[in-house]
Amino acid sequence: MAGGTAFLPVEAAKQAGAVDVLFYGEVGISVLVSLIVACLVVGFVTRYRRGSPASRRKLPQAFSHEVEIIWTVGTFFAFVAIFWWAATLNLIHLRPPDHTLDIRVVAKQWMWKIEQPNGVREIDAMHLPVDTPVRLIMTSQDVIHSFYVSAFRAKQDVVPGRVETLWFTPDRIGTYQLLCAEYCGLGHSLMRGEITVMSKADYARWCARMKAAAQVKTARNGEAP
Amino acid sequence: MTDIPFQSLPEAPRAPATVKSYLDEGHTLASWLFTTDHKRIAILYAIGITIFFFIGGFAAMLIRIQLLTPNGTIVSPELYNRIFTIHGIVMVWFFLVPSIPTTMGNFFLPLMIGARDVAFPRLNIISFWIFFLGALFTVVCIVSGGVDTGWTFYTPYSTLYSNGHVIAAAIGIFIVGFSSIATGVNFLTTVHTMRTEGMTWFRLPLFVWAMYATSFVMVLATPVLAASLLMIVAERALGMPLFNPHNGGDPILFQHLFWFYSHPAVYIMILPAMGVVSEVIPCFARRVIFGYRFMVYAMMMIALIGFSVWGHHMFVSGQSPFANIYFSFLSFMVAVPSAIKVFNWSASLFRGSITLEAPMFYALGFVGLFTIGGLTGLMLASVPVDIDLTDTYFVVAHFHYIMVGGSVSAFFAGLHYWWPKITGKLYNERAARLAALLMFIGFNLTFFPQFILGWAGMPRRYATYPPEFQLWHVASSLGAAVLALAYIMPLFYLGWSLYRGGKASANPWHATGLEWQTASPPPKDNFAVPPRVTHGPYFYHADNDPSQPTKNAS
Amino acid sequence: MSQVTITSPRDWQEHDLSLAARLGMWIFLATEILFFGGIFCAYAVLRYLNPVGFGIGGHETEILYGALNTFVLATSAVTMTMAAKAADGADYRLIRIGLIATFALGVLFLALKGMEYHDDIVHHLVPGHHFALADPSAEMFWGFYWVLTGLHAIHMSVGLVIIGRAYWLTRQNLKLDELRRNLDVSSLYWHLVDCIWFVIFPVIYLAGRSG
Amino acid sequence: MSAHRPDRRWLRGPVLVWLALLLLLALTTWIGYMPLDHLNAAINFPLAGIMVALVAYYLMRLKNEVGVVWLAALAGVIFLFTLFFLTFGDYFDR
């Protein structure tokens, strides 16, 4: 269903690429630091195992202080740099663009109720045009849920009693998995849905068709729309 | 760290055979259940937490079996929710938080500072009974009462929608919290007022510093947990709409108060592990610990900054962007001391003469796994990555690397390192090394696939999952089986050593801590004669270690 | 080789028991500060989120009882210190007067509290179905009222038991420094209960006054 | 009991503190009734803090205490402020 492998999950939103670069950067740094520590430990254990001929003279006094200060300050600045990178990425993405496609989402115990701008309603499914910024206006009717689409690298807890917004710009046509990430009781693992990203033309056609179908249904039931 | 001039010192005095060890001080049940001897209380705690470790472990096995298949039918989703709640509550509050401080801390803190007992012995035994009875009561409540809120008790689910016995569980944990506070008060007062002559602050072994920092965090964080649990009880029982969003309450408020305790709680779990590893590595590398003062300052900084980082659990919970930024920054700052400690442990091996007995293997395993756990913590501290990864298996893998890879490995390192001193018996070294290796392999096979699951988008606490994640779940469940086997092995060879093990000398590892200068098992008053300390700890060096059989070319 | 040299045999000298007792009690007081602090933090956040409701709720509390009780506890704080400091001069009569006065003031406090609780119950100010006020956050204020004053009353009763035991100890022929230690610890605990009340007073009784 | 009356001049100190406490009590109550909207909470809580500090410094005899007891006394308060500041850091900016 969603392209990509587990190691390289599909990036289906404009923001997803930048988040992946940050994540793989951090994975790279972590692998590097882990290798350094592993080599140090394994190297010392083999070179200085008991009975080996390596020299055991006392460490030079200066050596221990200088090294300590170097890697303390080094680690500090490395972490500040990573924080800087992550914080700027977070702040860039903070404010949604001015005109977005506003979709209302209501999370209810164990389903997602989605309402398109033109009134079309769907359960556990969402159709989106590609390359247009989408803003979700979300609220919950009972407990805390969490709207999570891994392909868009987007997640936002939906807290009852408050309106939460989440925005992203899908940039790849396909269907992606919508999951609930915040534990919400019995059906937490069944609260899944599908996001279908279509071309703008398909989306317009889909909206019109769904709108017409909805009107036919209401006319047949005789209710006031 | 100034290098103290070495003089050759007399070998530790052979404790006269007639001195009765604390084990022979009384064989009646009452002499054990109502003892005020810190060593016996440590053993009571050890038995208690082992029972709860296997209860939590059994729940973990059920989880892993259920997740073998995407739509597992071993347990119904409702039962699955209860099982992961049991696993969370029992492992966090009844095993990990009390594990090292109450067992090794209780046993060795007085020994390492040259005291006869802790400051308030009666409070010590009361704290054990509060822990044991409170924990037993809570386990019975959550098992029979069907609590399915997860160990985090997030509102409004836990207050308005969960129909399990949440009130009983909250009261049980509230009671067990007092035993943490009592232990913390006891250790802080003991270290401040009962150090023997000559034991200045910077001659304290790092394990004592770790107990001091842990007690500091235990004492200041646990009351806020008590307050937040009390508020859940107030909302459920009294009908106060504290966290009810429709009546003016705020669900996020509970998360703030809960995580104000629960993040310092993870430092309660990891700081003692750092203390044990800082004792074990110098002993088996025959090296003075590298940068003793930096290690002390690092531990105290972790304890202090640890109180101001809890917001990184709530990046996506609707917290204000400003709060996300400063909690993210503070989380990066608290990682710096941990990184320093890892480098210091590695540097302590430089120019040592290293042997890989079981304690050392666990300690080095700790250093490796704690590094991975710490670095993945950094990833989760950066906000955009956390938005994708929070509440997924990436977080599950991260905290298991810290808690199981770090804290439990260090627990086993300490258990094996001090086993001769506690029981006076030697354990079977080969079996211990096999168990350590099996645990290392089983652990990585269990939790590394969960990193990949998390990055692929598998959320936490799912009874059934989308089928594309199955490959990694099967690998993880396989690893869990190996890990379970590795956890059972010590029961056998350590139990065997109690009856068939060789008699341990006062100092089988030729270590230099104060606890090794008395008989093993130590007499009731710990030392025949009150010791006078003249040097700092970790007095190792390969050149003039008299017990060193082969003279190294220096 | 070790970090210790074994000295000539000498017996264990006693560690500073008085400091240990005081330090242990002060650390316990820190936990009490944080316990009540957690509840005050929740109160502060919820009052910030709905100030009007808390104002309405706060208006219903009876300021007379609150002020009177604060006066009673302020006096009991002084009598307790009087008892503790009298122990320094081994002035047994003053110790007993101080303890009895503090005990009486404590009982007076609980009596006043009981009467206040009776009035509140009569006025249906207990959160639940037939809560007098309509505003839900006023009901929350009253929830805080019952939780905070109830917890304080429990701590107060424990304080009375501690003072009763201290008085009983003055009757035993106890070594003076042991009695002094017990009185120190008891007075520290009692003063904590006072300090918590001094914060509860503005939180509960002055909440809705300025409306 | 010693024949002559034991020296009780030290009672003056606690009584002075008592008067100060009563004064502060009257002050807080009076300010409580002033129509200052948010301000009277902003004044009342520091006043309560002063009363607590008075009790701690004189009546709990922190005046002549060793440093470590001061540390224990202040630790609780410092971390309580951490809880308040960082929690309200979130609520003010929401």
- Using one digit for the tens of pLDDT, what is the confidence trace for B459-475? 999 999 999 899 999 99
pLDDT, tens digit, 9 for 90 and up, residues C99-143? 999 999 999 999 999 999 999 989 888 887 778 788 888 888 988
* Predicted local distance difference test score (pLDDT) of residue B5: 36
Examine the pLDDT at C58 and tell me if it is beyond 50: yes
pLDDT band with cut points at 50, 70 and 90 for residue B7: very low
Q: What is the model's pTM?
A: 0.92
Examine the pLDDT at B343 and tell me if it is beyond 60: yes
Q: Is C102 exposed, middle or buried (0-12, 13-18, 19+ CB in 10 A)?
A: buried
Task: Collect all residues of chain C within an 8 Å Cβ-Cβ radius of residue B543.
Answer: none
Residue C67 in domain: yes
pLDDT, tens digit, 9 for 90 and up, residues C67-80? 999 999 999 999 99
* Predicted local distance difference test score (pLDDT) of residue B551: 35
Q: Is C146 on the interface with B (CB under 8 A)?
A: yes
Residue C18 in domain: no
Give the Å distances, CA to CA, from B302 to A95, A130, B210, C159, C163.
34, 47, 11, 36, 40
pLDDT, tens digit, 9 for 90 and up, residues B23-64? 888 888 888 899 999 999 999 999 999 999 999 999 999 999
* Predicted local distance difference test score (pLDDT) of residue C2: 54
Residue C9 in domain: no
Secondary structure (H, E, C), D36-94: CCCHHHHHHHHHHHHHHHHHHHHHCCCCCCCHHHHHHHHHHHHHHHHHHHHHHHHHHCC
Residue A128, phi then psi, degrees to nearest 5: -130, 145
Q: Which of A20-34, C125-139, D58-72 has the least mean pLDDT?
A: C125-139
Task: Collect all residues of chain B within an 8 Å Cβ-Cβ radius of residue D69.
Answer: none
Chain C interface test: which of D36, D45, D55 (most C C-beta within 10 Å): D55
Task: Collect all residues of chain A within an 8 Å Cβ-Cβ radius of residue B3.
Answer: 58, 61
Distance CA B498, CA B23 (A): 12
The CATH number of residue C91's host domain is: 1.20.120.80
Task: Collect all residues of chain D within an 8 Å Cβ-Cβ radius of residue B256.
Answer: 87, 90
Work out the mean pLDDT of chain C and round it to a whole number: 88
* Predicted local distance difference test score (pLDDT) of residue C7: 53
**Residue A5: both structure tokens together:** 């492998």
pLDDT, tens digit, 9 for 90 and up, residues C4-23? 555 555 667 777 888 999 99
Counting CB pairs under 8 A, whether chains C and A reach 3 or more, is no
> Which of A65-79, B154-168, B208-222, C41-55 is modeled with the greatest confidence?
B208-222
pLDDT, tens digit, 9 for 90 and up, residues B289-299? 888 999 999 99
Residue C2 in domain: no
Residue C174 vs residue B16, higher pLDDT: C174
Examine the pLDDT at B544 and tell me if it is beyond 70: no
Distance CA B488, CA B61 (A): 13
CA C189 to chain centre: 7
Q: How far is B23 from chain D (nearest CA, A)?
A: 36
Helix then strand count (H, E) for chain B reads 17, 1
* Predicted local distance difference test score (pLDDT) of residue A6: 66
Work out the mean pLDDT of chain B and round it to a whole number: 89
Q: Is B317 on the interface with D (CB under 8 A)?
A: no
Counting CB pairs under 8 A, whether chains D and C reach 3 or more, is yes
Boundaries of domain holding C126: 24-205
Percent of chain C with pLDDT over 70: 94
Q: Considering only CA atoms, which of C211, C183, C199 is closest in space to residue C21?
A: C183
* Predicted local distance difference test score (pLDDT) of residue A222: 66
pLDDT band with cut points at 50, 70 and 90 for residue A224: low
CATH fold for the domain made of B35-517: Cytochrome C Oxidase; Chain A (1.20.210)
Neighbours of C67 (CB within 10 A): 18
Q: Which of C1, C42, C139 sits opposite B539 (nearest CB)?
A: C1
Interface subset of C 113-132, CB within 8 angstroms of B = 127-128
Examine the pLDDT at A129 and tell me if it is beyond 70: yes
**Mean pLDDT calculated for residue range D24-30:** 92
**Cβ contact D37–C210 (<8 Å):** yes
Counting CB pairs under 8 A, whether chains D and B reach 3 or more, is yes
Non-local CB neighbours of B115 within 8 Å, separated by 6+ positions? B190, B194, B195, B196, B526, C15
**Cβ contact A142–B385 (<8 Å):** no
Residue with tokens 């604390």: B22
**Cβ contact D79–B321 (<8 Å):** no
Percent of chain B with pLDDT over 70: 94
Distance CA A75, CA A20 (A): 23
Work out the mean pLDDT of chain A and round it to a whole number: 88
Q: Which chains touch A (3 or more CB pairs under 8 A)?
A: B
Instruction: Please report, as a single letter, which amino acid is at residue B21.
Output: S
- Determine contact, residues C4/B533, Cβ cutoff 8 Å: yes
Examine the pLDDT at B497 and tell me if it is beyond 80: yes
Secondary structure (H, E, C), B165-194: CHHHHHHHHHHHHHHHHHHHHHHHHHHHHC
Residue-wise over B201-215: b if at least 16 C-beta within 10 A, else e?
Answer: eebbbbbbbbbbbbb
What spatial distance separates the first Cα and last Cα of chain C, rounded to whole Å? 75
Distance CA C203, CA A123 (A): 47
Percent of chain A with pLDDT over 70: 93
- Determine contact, residues B504/B420, Cβ cutoff 8 Å: yes
Residue B28 vs residue B217, higher pLDDT: B217
* Predicted local distance difference test score (pLDDT) of residue B290: 87
Angle at B468 between CA B464 and CA B469, to 5 degrees: 60
**Which residue ranges form the domains of chain A, and what is each CATH number?**
14-92 (no CATH), 101-221 (2.60.40.420)
> Domain residue spans in chain B?
35-517
pLDDT band with cut points at 50, 70 and 90 for residue A60: low
ipTM, two decimals: 0.91
Neighbours of B114 (CB within 10 A): 24
**Strand A101-108 and strand A134-140: pairing?**
parallel
* Predicted local distance difference test score (pLDDT) of residue A72: 92
* Predicted local distance difference test score (pLDDT) of residue D2: 46
Neighbours of B239 (CB within 10 A): 17
Q: Which residues pair with A17 in a beta bridge?
A: none
Q: How many domains is chain C partitioned into structurally?
A: 1
